[in-house]
Amino acid sequence: MKATFKFIRKIVPIFTLVFFGNTLRSQCGTNNWDVTSLNASSNTQSYDIARDASGNIYVSGTFETAATFTSTCGGGGPVNVSLFGSGPSPRSAYIAKFDCGGKLLWANFESNSLGWSEGRTLVVDPAGTYVFLAGASSGTLNFRTTGHTACTSGLAAANFGTTHYFVARFNTGNGAFVDGYGPSTITAGTSYTVNSMALKKTISGATTDYNLFLCGSAIFGGTDHNFFIHNVLLSTATGYSLPWWKNALCIGGHNNQAWDIEYNPVSDLVFFTGDFDFQMQYPVSGATCTWTKTAMVDGFIGAVNPASGNPWCIHCKELGAAAGQYGTGRAVTVDAGGDMYYTGAFTGNLLSVYQGGATFLGGAPGRYAMFVTRRNSTPSMVWRNRILPVSTGSCVGTGIAINTGSVYVSGSFEGGNLVFPGGGGTYTSPGKRMFVSTFNRSTSGLVAGNTSKSTDPNSDHLTAKVACDEDYAYTCGSYKGIFDYTTGFPPMGILTSSPLLSSQNAFIVRNGAGATNPFRLITSEDGTETIIADNDIYPNPTHSELNIQLPNSDSEIVLELRDVSGKLILTEKIINSAKVKLDLSKYDSGIYLMSIKGANINTNKKIIKE
């Protein structure tokens, strides 16, 4: 994917995780939250997510025509921040910052009157001073020198030229655009797609260098896609430059693509992953590594020297999709010891390139299963695991993150049942749904998993990257229709795209990750779970009486009502009753969170008391 997010791995060294995790528990409280979607008049997407050392969350993406952030500012009521694109193809990049509790701090966006732009990936300066955004564009980019926040307005234009990809730097404090880079020339017929970015920061005396490694795919005339890695250098002494750029060559095939990239300071190597459809050579001059597939399409992993871009061939391997099958590498991260963690998907069986071609993960022909693997710096396989769809459907891992004890994988599945092995149960999706799963970092065992759901079977939910600290995992993506992501603690309500099913909105969710804030582990044996629709709870908003229509059940159903801080203010236990009336007249006006739990029910609703 990129895996489509950079998270804490790009922000703070691994040894600081425990300290910041303990600090953030008191800052963020224990409630999970759903950041209200970016409601778009056309389509809005979130591609990447990152976290800084103070626990703030950064998200990048793209919107068409117009988008609106809805959040709270300074403890007041909701404040809308509207972003308006322009041009003949009104697709604009955005970057936004939230605190760890979900409050919008600022947003900045690009308004290009002559073209389009995409905010595909971001990384945060380890010092927390800057955040870098990258993507593809046409024309001249126009970001804001003053961040557009939920509390203040006033925008001023700032321009820099680019023709096929860009890097833009923003101040993390107020979201102001600082400067940016875009190559000034481009060969006719060339087109770039940026999927991911990694950061290497070097301080030498008074000079600070930021090496920004971009990866993705490029078309050099025709239709074939070729994966590339470019090193954009920002030096406080000399400004922006391009020390080296490398493009992989398709041999006998048509497409190869790098989805994710990560820099590891321990080994001083840049790691990447992607897929290719025949044979691939990198680079086409100088030291060369060759990947040759036996599958129809196979994934690849690799590493290059950050100073030269030349390959480190001991780390350049195929994923091992079986003959006639498919594989893809979508996300990579590396720990402080140099071990590499990958996720993606495969059909059929995945063969080990470390064990003489023996089958090391079994799947199903023609249906994608998600894989997660850990390899050491030798490189040798440490462990591997999978999440497998049953009977029908496919499942793809798109993001990966680690903390002290866990590996988090985000992804999407569609068209069938998703199995969380090791006691996780199954979940049935009539459409496209997102998931987040947790694996033990030492043993590979599944710890927990959660999926989105919807009362509308035609809804589509897609997730991109994942970021984490010791207590929480964060993910972003896009959805159409109704998006319901129920966790072990009250979320901030179900998200509904507007207009329903015809537009794509962006979402961000926070999941409990530690022992005190766990995921809701899916335990349904048959994959069924009763969903209580919005119209089963009425009137909402209400002045006093609230009616709740429940399914018939011989088991106990528990209703809990909490205020927005998470404080429990009402509990009701119901047995053999299809309808419940609650008197809310004595409670203050405002927003309340109701959870309804039973044998096959785990629903959360937002209640408005007028």
* DSSP letter string, 190-256: EEEEEEEEEEEEEEETTEEEEEEEEEEEEEESSS-BEEEEEEEEEETTTEEEEEEEEE-EEESSSBE
Residue-level pLDDT at 15 = 21
Lay out the sheet containing 579-583: strands in order across.
Answer: 537-538, 545-549, 579-583
> Does 75 score more than 50 pLDDT?
no
What separation in angstroms does the CA of 589 have from each of 21, 156, 400, 583? Answer: 34, 39, 41, 13
Residue-level pLDDT at 139 = 73
pTM of the model: 0.80
Highest mean pLDDT among 39-48, 51-60, 177-186, 543-552: 51-60
Residue-level pLDDT at 220 = 80
- 432 within a domain of the structure (yes/no): no
Highest mean pLDDT among 355-359, 403-407, 490-494: 403-407
> Does 1 score more than 70 pLDDT?
no
- 332 CA to centre of own chain: 13
> Does 115 score more than 60 pLDDT?
yes
Q: Which of 193-202, 513-522, 554-563 has the lowest mean pLDDT?
A: 513-522
Going through 472-517 in order, the beta strands assigned E by DSSP cover 472-480, 482-483, 495-496, 505-512
**Distance between CA atoms of 242 and 231, rounded to whole angstroms?**
6
CB-CB neighbours of 243 under 10 Å: 15
Tokens of 537: 């709870």
**Distance between CA atoms of 115 and 107, rounded to whole angstroms?**
21
Write phi, then psi, for 351 (nearest 5 degrees): -100, 145
pLDDT digits (tens, 9 = 90+) for 28-59: 444 444 444 566 667 888 999 999 998 899 99
Q: What is the CA radius of gyration of the chain?
A: 24
> Does 567 score more than 90 pLDDT?
no
**Distance between CA atoms of 287 and 308, rounded to whole angstroms?**
10
Residue-level pLDDT at 393 = 85
- Helix H or strand E segment including 18: helix 17-28
Q: Comparing C-alpha atoms, which of 43, 101, 36 is closest to residue 70?
A: 36
CATH number of residue 560's parent domain = 2.60.40.3080
Residue-level pLDDT at 199 = 98
pLDDT band at 8, cuts 50/70/90? very low
pLDDT band at 123, cuts 50/70/90? very high
The helix/strand/coil state of 603 is strand
pLDDT band at 228, cuts 50/70/90? very high
Residue-level pLDDT at 534 = 64
Q: Which of 142-151, 236-245, 362-371 has the lowest mean pLDDT?
A: 142-151
Tokens of 12: 């703070």
- 118 within a domain of the structure (yes/no): no
Write phi, then psi, for 80 (nearest 5 degrees): -95, 135
What is the extent of the structural domain holding 570? 534-609
Highest mean pLDDT among 41-55, 203-217, 276-290, 310-324: 203-217
Lay out the sheet containing 177-181: strands in order across.
Answer: 121-124, 130-136, 165-171, 177-181
Q: Whats the size of the chain, residue-wise?
A: 610
- 553 within a domain of the structure (yes/no): yes
Tokens of 402: 């680690």
Tokens of 370: 């998600």
Residue with the two structure tokens 């926070």: 510
In DSSP notation, 95-151 reads EEEE-TTS-EEEEEE---SSS-B---EEEE-TTSSEEEEEEEB-SEEEEESS-B-SS
pLDDT band at 24, cuts 50/70/90? very low
Q: Comparing C-alpha atoms, which of 394, 430, 432 is closest to residue 527?
A: 430
Residue-level pLDDT at 30 = 40
Dihedral over Cα of 358, 362, 368, 372: its sign: negative
**Distance between CA atoms of 12 and 346, rounded to whole angstroms?**
31
- 605 within a domain of the structure (yes/no): yes
- 551 within a domain of the structure (yes/no): yes
**Distance between CA atoms of 248 and 229, rounded to whole angstroms?**
9
**Distance between CA atoms of 360 and 426, rounded to whole angstroms?**
23
- 301 within a domain of the structure (yes/no): no
- 106 within a domain of the structure (yes/no): no
pLDDT band at 563, cuts 50/70/90? confident
- 584 within a domain of the structure (yes/no): yes
Residue-level pLDDT at 146 = 73
Burial class (CB in 10 A: 0-12, 13-18, 19+), 430: middle
> Does 285 score more than 80 pLDDT?
no
pLDDT digits (tens, 9 = 90+) for 428-460: 778 899 988 888 999 998 877 778 878 788 899
Tokens of 195: 């999927």
191 or 82, which is more confident: 191
Highest mean pLDDT among 13-27, 63-77, 287-301: 287-301
Residue with the two structure tokens 């129809």: 296
Q: What is the mean pLDDT of the chain?
A: 79
What separation in angstroms does the CA of 267 have from each of 261, 298, 312, 338, 376? Answer: 15, 26, 11, 6, 11
pLDDT digits (tens, 9 = 90+) for 378-396: 888 899 998 887 778 899 9
At a CB cut-off of 8 Å and minimum separation 6, what does 362 contact?
Answer: 349
Domain count along the chain: 1
For the segment 124-135, the average pLDDT, to the nearest whole number, is 96
pLDDT band at 578, cuts 50/70/90? confident
